[in-house]
Amino acid sequence: MGARRQHAPRGPTRRRAPTPADCVVLLAVAALVPASWAWKPEPERAAVLVVRSADGESRFEASQDREMEIRGPVGVTRLRLQDGEAWIVAAPCANHFCQRLGRLRAPGRSLVCVPNRVVVCFAGSGLDVDGVTR
């Protein structure tokens, strides 16, 4: 009687990593990642500021620094436009949430004082859109 030899199960053989080709691919990816971050375009500064209130709609050149008083049903909302940015300086509403919205720099966002019915935005389409609803 012959003794049967047991063979190791055959399966895929493992190779040692990293190979020189793996190192080349890794270096190429490492070089492309910072380049992709630098490639992202910044949104352009808008040229026209649009202010909507109970009195209607007004448009202002964003290049001209100014402070505006916008009358609404609750009182006067003060808006400042400076260096191409707009923000609400003072508002007559109770919680002053509109003042904490920050500075508006480009199309796609807006400043809103709901109790005083004031909406401020830049004309144009926003580049930083999270989603679209139809």
pTM value is 0.59
CB 88 within 8 A of CB 99: yes
In the CATH hierarchy, which top-level class contains the domain 48-119?
Answer: mainly beta
Structural domain boundaries of the chain?
48-119
Q: What is the pLDDT of residues 82-129, one digit of tens each?
A: 988 999 999 998 888 999 999 998 888 899 999 999 999 988 755 555
Over residues 42-73, the pLDDT tens digits come to 655 568 899 999 889 999 988 889 999 999 99
Residues near 115 by Cβ (< 8 Å), separated by ≥ 6? Answer: 72, 73, 74, 92, 93, 94
Note the maximum CA span of the chain: 107
